[in-house]
């Protein structure tokens, strides 16, 4: 009994508010000094107290570093910006090819994806299963890997015996980009068709419409409004992904930008102005389309 009372009176480590342990531990660091300063110790912890003057110091250091870096170069930032204005038409010429690739890839992917999406709602199990496998395969494959497969494995020309059809690199890029677009548009079409109430199908059946007439005259016209916003979103994604084809040597905006900097000697001060301009033109092209998509989503949203 006495031994039990001794155990009860013995403090439990950590339960009486005082840390007690036989193990070696690292105590919290307490910064010395008063509250004035960058480092402060609060409750035995290290904290950082940033003041407005610290931001001014950092800004002054950055300006000083930028001035030293510009003084160390021969041309400087002003020369880089002036050179950019000289090469803007050349860069925009490559950007036009980005737009062409995105438009053609979206057109091919939309046509193939619409057919594949309708096959996913087919009543025939082999058709439905096969289209689902194709959709999931290309939908979950990396775009860059698909692009490499098409660019490296697809022939550069097709010989039909009586005529030879050359296939340029940009056309291979169109095919490579159209495959994932096809798979995602297929899911958009399938989701739009299946989102309609089953009463639409039942009403058409009661009016003696066959399945083809029901799809083309009743179901798909109602699906168009639902498919337009995601379709535009996928075009924006595709347009932003087109610079990937520069890895394979396609003469688009990124390739033209690199060629322009090579012609100017690959100086480090060229990187900022040239690549920021490249970002700017892609943003100017894509952002209005994205905002248009948001407006269409609000316009066609179901009001309850």
Domains of the chain: 76-299 (1.10.3720.10)
d(CA 113, CA 231): 11
Task: Using a pLDDT cut of 90, give the percent of the chain over it.
Answer: 37
d(CA 188, CA 134): 15
pLDDT at 269 over 60: yes
pLDDT at 28 over 60: no
pTM greater than 0.75: no
Choose the most confident range, by mean pLDDT, from 26-35, 155-164, 169-178, 242-251. Answer: 169-178
Instruction: Identify the bridge partners of residue 41 per DSSP, sorted by sequence position.
Output: 46
Q: Which two tokens stand for residue 287?
A: 């952002």
CB 279 within 8 A of CB 240: no
Q: How confident is the model at residue 225 (pLDDT cuts 50, 70, 90)?
A: confident
pLDDT of residue 182: 95
pLDDT of residue 303: 59
d(CA 20, CA 23): 9
d(CA 108, CA 174): 8
Q: How confident is the model at residue 199 (pLDDT cuts 50, 70, 90)?
A: confident
pLDDT at 27 over 80: no
pLDDT of residue 6: 55
Q: How many Cα atoms are found within 13 Å in the side-chain-facing hemisphere of 248? A: 24
Q: How confident is the model at residue 167 (pLDDT cuts 50, 70, 90)?
A: confident
CB 193 within 8 A of CB 131: no
Task: Using a pLDDT cut of 70, give the percent of the chain over it.
Answer: 74
H-type alpha helices, the chain: 2-9, 52-72, 76-120, 125-139, 143-153, 169-195, 198-206, 211-214, 220-241, 253-263, 271-299
């Amino acid at each position: 009994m006495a031994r039990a009372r001794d155990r009860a009176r013995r403090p439990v480590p950590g339960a009486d508010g005082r840390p007690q342990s036989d193990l070696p531990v690292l105590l919290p660091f307490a910064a010395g000094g008063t509250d004035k300063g960058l480092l402060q110790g609060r409750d035995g912890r290290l904290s950082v107290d940033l003041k407005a003057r610290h931001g001014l110091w950092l800004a002054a250091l950055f300006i000083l570093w930028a001035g030293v870096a510009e003084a160390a170069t021969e041309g400087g930032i002003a020369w880089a910006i002036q050179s950019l204005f000289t090469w803007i038409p050349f860069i925009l010429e490559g950007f036009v090819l980005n737009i062409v690739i995105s438009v053609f890839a979206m057109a091919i992917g939309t046509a193939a994806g619409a057919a594949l999406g309708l096959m996913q709602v087919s009543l025939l199990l082999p058709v439905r299963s096969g289209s689902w496998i194709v959709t999931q395969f290309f939908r979950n494959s990396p775009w860059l890997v698909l692009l490499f497969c098409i660019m490296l494995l697809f022939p550069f020309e097709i010989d039909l015996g009586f005529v030879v059809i050359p296939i340029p690199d940009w056309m291979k890029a169109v095919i490579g980009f159209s495959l994932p677009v096809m798979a995602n548009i297929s899911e958009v079409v399938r989701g739009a068709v299946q989102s309609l109430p089953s009463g639409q199908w039942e009403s058409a059946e009661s009016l003696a419409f066959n399945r083809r007439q029901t799809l083309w005259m009743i179901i798909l016209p109602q699906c168009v409004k639902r498919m337009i916003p995601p379709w535009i979103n996928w075009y924006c994604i595709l347009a932003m992904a087109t610079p990937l084809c520069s890895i394979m040597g396609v003469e688009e905006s990124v390739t033209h930008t690199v060629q322009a900097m090579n012609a100017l000697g690959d100086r480090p001060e060229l990187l900022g102005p040239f690549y920021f301009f490249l970002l700017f033109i892609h943003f100017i092209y894509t952002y209005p389309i994205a905002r248009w998509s948001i407006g269409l989503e609000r316009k066609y949203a179901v009001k309850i």
